Chains A and B, each alone.
Chain A
Amino acid sequence: MSDATLHTRRHAFRAATEEAPLLRITLIGIAVAGLAILVFAPLAVVFAEALREGWLAAVESLGNQDARSAIWLTLLITAIAVPANAAFGIAAAWFITKFDFRGKAFLITLIDLPFSVSPVVAGLCIVLLFGANSAIGGWLVANGWPIVFAIPGIVLATIFVTFPFVARELIPVMIEQGRAEEEAALTLGASGWRTFWTVTLPNIRWALLYGTLLCTARAMGEFGAVAVVSGKIRGQTATMPITIEMLYNEYLSVAAFSMAALLTALALVTLLLKTLLELRHADQLAAIRRH
């Protein structure tokens, strides 16, 4: 049998959805090259640059007062913004999917707004609204509650920018699941609150987890909006991304990249966490999805 007949035979038995070998190799090649250039190369560079002068220099650069303050601040902001957005996201998704009302489409668009507005513009809006020159801001500053150039402003900016993540993950899942299970729980005598905890929440937990993890990664990394509202006060309002920029501009590249590597590692840990949870509950997940 010659190569030509083999080739035609393979053609003849190809499944309808299968692509020609050449096309398949090309597509896989493009995907791998894209991943290598856009994802793996930058990751490798960040860690390589951080470790250029050895482990000791990298760890030392993270140990000083300002760096520790930046790490602590970022973790604090994330710890406030993520639960807040998880709660907002659940409430918004619940409201949108379980009730019929006018202006629903408008509300969904509104939830997406933070994705389409530039973070810098969002930051400026917060400065205009709560800055010392505005009526609200002036009153708050006078009473010892400054928002802008202080932690509350950074929290607000972070919450705004990461607002859509949880809601957007939940809305399609909750629309697909409909209201029947909740109605069933109510007819069985459960209160609305009990129904939420025992039926609604377990049904959306994977989407909620995924949305929360994305939200966490984004909250830790937020730069634009925070840069505007924070005032970049070293040791006080400089988060990790802000500190990275400042160090980089000062040609302290080992310190900048060490901080960047740590930030990347934190994001990778959230993704690892998600994968681990998925592996651990794989059979349960499969049972639910086959429905």
Chain B
Amino acid sequence: MHIDIDEIAKTFGGTTALLPVSLNIPSGALVALLGPSGSGKTTLLRILGGLEFPTSGRVLFNGQDATGMTVQERRAGFVFQSYALFRHMTVFDNIAYGLRARPRNQRPPKAEINRRVTKLLELIQLPDIAKRYPTQLSGGQRQRVALARALAIEPRMLLLDEPFGALDAKVRKELRQGLRDIHDETGLTTVFVTHDQDEAMELADLVVVMSMGRIEQIGRPHDIRDKPATEFVREFITT
């Protein structure tokens, strides 16, 4: 699914989080929103997911206006920064949550839910943890469970907020590859937010550099590295 962001702006009370920004995300792309904290990248991601609504501007999914769509209607697989796993549910119940939440006539039968959850656990290479609680998992395992939970709803796109932020360097490297593999396998349009330029450069097809509610530059990783468009991008990339 391709996503068009058309002059989206957002203010919270008196503070401006996003100046009008526009961005076209091609279908199946893996896009990084890169910038320091306060650059508006998370706000933009949350607007895509339907968790915030823009003050002005439009969001289009496959060319159709999706600005007023509710969060449930958007069917965006969202991975939260601290994963937001349901702490009182087992891993299995976490992953099955979205399927069980469907209206009765669209809800898969129990055996089908079982099958899909098992398959997702294999996809994230953690087949044996179905009965555990989130507190009994390592950080890297939690992140993968959060990803599986988001994938379970057969999302139209995948949105990840600092997916590797809370992990140590070694696990981070592994999971980057894991996300790349899952992206390539599912072909889902994927947008992730990061403040780590290595992560953005290594993982993404398209990098969007943001600062203070503005988009500074949109380009492929090597374009941004070789030809930074603004002074801000040059400095942010070299530090």
Q: Is B86 an interface residue (CB 8 A)?
A: yes
* Nearest opposing residue in chain A for B159, CB measure: A187
Complex: A136 Cα to B25 Cα, angstroms: 63
Check A203–B87 contact: CB distance below 8 A.
Answer: yes
Nearest-Cβ distance from residue B89 to partner chain A, whole angstroms: 8
Across-interface contacts of A183 in B (CB, < 8 A): 51, 71, 78, 80, 84
The answer on a CB contact under 8 Å between B135 and A181 is no
CA A287 to CA B86, docked complex, whole Å: 12
Q: A180-B82, A291-B135 are in contact. Are A186 and B72 (CB under 8 A)?
A: yes
Least CB distance, A283 to chain B, in whole angstroms: 10
Known: A187-B49, A291-B135. A194 touches B88 (CB 8 A): no
Judge whether B71 and A186 touch: CB under 8 Å. Answer: yes
- Chain A contacts for B49, CB-based, 8 A: 187
Number of residue pairs spanning A and B whose beta carbons lie under 8 angstroms apart: 75
Given A186-B72, A190-B97, A180 contacting B84 (CB threshold 8 A): yes
Residues of A within 8 A of B149 (CB): 184, 188
Whether, in the assembled complex, A290 has its beta carbon less than 8 Å from a beta carbon of chain B, the answer is yes
Flag if B51 contacts A288 (CB, 8 Å). Answer: no
Residues A290 and B135 in contact in the complex (CB < 8 Å), given A180-B80, A189-B101: yes
How many chain B residues touch the partner (CB < 8 A)? 30
Name B27-72 residues within 8 Å CB distance of A.
Answer: 49-51, 71-72
Task: Note all chain B residues with C-beta closer than 8 A to A291.
Answer: 87, 134-135
Pairwise interchain contact A288-B98, C-beta atoms closer than 8 A: no
Which chain A residues (31-74) contact chain B, with CB distance < 8 Å?
none
Q: Can you report 7 A-B residue pairs in the complex whose CB atoms are below 8 A from each other?
A: A180-B82, A185-B86, A187-B71, A189-B75, A189-B102, A190-B101, A191-B72
Q: Is the CB of A287 within 8 A of B133?
A: yes
B97 is contacted by which of A185, A191, A202, A288 (Cβ under 8 Å)? A185
Q: Kindly state the separation between the CA atoms of A190 and B80 in the bound complex, as whole angstroms.
A: 16
Q: Does B210 contact A (CB under 8 A)?
A: no
Cα–Cα distance between A191 and B97 once the two chains are bound (Å): 12
Using a CB–CB cutoff of 8 Å, the interface residues on chain B facing chain A are 49-51, 71-72, 74-78, 80-82, 84-88, 97-98, 101-102, 133-136, 149-150, 152-153
Closest chain-B Cβ to A126's Cβ sits at a distance in Å of 39
The answer to whether B72 touches A181, judged by C-beta atoms less than 8 angstroms apart, is: no
Q: By the criterion of a CB under 8 Å from any partner CB, how many residues of chain A are at the interface? A: 21
Known: A180-B82, A183-B51. A188 touches B88 (CB 8 A): no
Give the complex CA separation of A183 and B76 in angstroms. Answer: 12
Residues of B within 8 A of A188 (CB): 97-98, 101, 149-150, 152-153
Residues on the A chain within 8 Å of B82, using CB = 180
Given contacts A183-B80, A184-B80, A288-B87, contact A189 B135 (CB under 8 A): no
Residues on B with C-beta less than 8 A from A180 are 80-82, 84
B101 & A184 in contact (Cβ 8 Å cutoff): no
CB contacts (< 8 Å) of A181 on chain B: these are: 84-87
Partner of A199, one of B76, B86, B102: B86
- Across the A-B interface, the 9 shortest Cβ-Cβ residue pairs: A188-B98, A180-B84, A190-B101, A187-B78, A184-B84, A290-B135, A202-B88, A186-B71, A287-B133
